[in-house]
Amino acid sequence: MKTLVLTPFSTSGLAALGELGEVIYEPWTDTQEIHDPEELGQRIAAERIDTLVVEIDFLLEELFDSAPGLRFTAICRGALNQVDLEAATDRGVVITHTPGRNAQAVAELVLGLMFSLARHLPQARSFVVDGHWEDPTEAYIRFQGRELSGATIGLIGLGQIGGRVAQLARAIGMRVLAYDPYVSHSIQADSGLMLVDLNTLLCSSDFISIHVPESTETTGLINATAIAKMRDGAYLINVTSPSVVDRDSLVYALRASKLAGAAMDVHDSHPLAPDSPFLGMVNVLQTPHIGGATRETIERHSAMVVEDIRRFERGLKPVNLANPSVWTKRRKL
């Protein structure tokens, strides 16, 4: 087996892959490169690589066409929007992914964003480092915040990340509401949260955190009508996709003080456009898409990928097989 790894990977994971064959390690964090799919396929063919591990690269039809010897590809992400699953399946290439690998990391970021919004932490830091902290009473009045304990958080989407946020929020004493039409109400008894409809969640939450995938169903879900139903002074947190929130409606609500603040780890562009209306808004906290940027996330996805490659080499179905219909026509040694 010859494996090309184009994503950050743990030392133990690389060692495990090395026991199975040759490993070429070129993480995108070092190369700063997203590969052209056809050129990557040609390289895979020329170097006789049969196993590919990626995170940010696109796996399109031209890649699979150019790499007839590729047998197995692992995507170190939960989402599959960067891969042409049909093309991979047609050509017998097994695709796996790593759902939930960053759930804890993103959930902890959400908690950090809530603390930062509720206690005005970025503004308070600037107040100190910019030399404004002279009168000891001014800061105490200016940066008076609110406690999260006793507040209500509304989770839109209750997948692995939303579920982790619910656990953390309950641990600090928050009341948890959740809207997810694809989750059974039986989950309430075990999780200590309350499943409600979207309108109830919007009207009843002090903090609203979005955890739904990008789709035609979720695009514009949080629009002017939805925001109007939110509590005055509520906070909105988005760590999933910018398409879920109507930008103009959010800007209006923040400028009108309908909402007390917002935090976003996902954006329409990278970097932000110079004319972004969010730049300079003191009640907006923006982070550069770092939800999953932890050492533990890398350790987790490395372990998941290694386990699935080992299973594949033994003729067993991978745990996180993304295209199960490929199994009967998969490429073998």
CA distance 37 to 52: 12
pLDDT at 188: 64
CA distance 123 to 113: 13
Helices 295-313 and 103-119 meet at what angle, rounded to 10? 160
Domain ranges of the chain: 2-101+294-329, 103-286
pLDDT at 232: 97
CA distance 196 to 248: 27
Half-sphere exposure of 155 (CA within 13 A, CB side): 29
Residue 271, preceding peptide bond in cis (omega within 30° of 0): yes
Fold of 103-286: Rossmann fold (3.40.50)
State pTM to two decimals: 0.92
The CATH number of the structural domain formed by 2-101+294-329 is: 3.40.50.720
Q: Is 200 exposed, middle or buried (0-12, 13-18, 19+ CB in 10 A)?
A: middle
Which residue bears the tokens 């969010």? 278
Which residue bears the tokens 């992400």? 77
- Per-residue confidence of the chain (333 residues) as pLDDT tens digits? 999 999 999 999 999 999 999 999 999 999 999 999 999 999 999 999 999 999 999 999 999 999 999 999 999 999 899 999 999 999 999 999 999 999 999 999 999 999 999 999 999 999 999 999 998 899 999 999 999 999 999 999 999 999 999 999 999 999 999 999 988 776 765 668 999 999 999 999 999 999 998 888 999 999 999 999 999 999 999 999 999 999 999 999 999 999 999 999 999 888 888 989 999 899 999 999 999 999 999 999 999 999 999 999 999 999 999 999 999 999 876
pLDDT at 288: 95
Q: Is 302 exposed, middle or buried (0-12, 13-18, 19+ CB in 10 A)?
A: buried
Q: Tell me, letter by letter, the H, E, C secondary structure of the chain.
A: CEEEECCCCCHHHHHHHHCCCEEEECCHHHHCCCCCHHHHHHHHHHCCCCEEEECCCCECHHHHHHCCCCCEEEECCCCCCCECHHHHHHCCCEEECCCCCCHHHHHHHHHHHHHHHHHCHHHHHHHHHCCCCCCHHHHHHHCCCCCCCCCEEEEECCCHHHHHHHHHHHHCCCEEEEECCCCCCCHHHHHCCEECCHHHHHHHCCEEEECCCCCCCCCCCECHHHHHHCCCCEEEEECCCHHHECHHHHHHHHHCCCEEEEEECCCCCCCCCCCCCCCCCCCEEECCCCCCCCHHHHHHHHHHHHHHHHHHHCCCCCCCECCHHHHHHCCCC
**CATH fold match for the domains 2-101+294-329 and 103-286:** yes
pLDDT at 157: 96
Question: β-pairing, 22-25 with 2-5?
Answer: parallel
Helices 103-119 and 121-129 meet at what angle, rounded to 10? 60
For residue 5, give every residue at least 6 positions away whose Cβ sits within 8 Å of its Cβ, in sequence order, or none. Answer: 14, 17, 23, 24, 25, 26, 27, 53
pLDDT at 183: 86
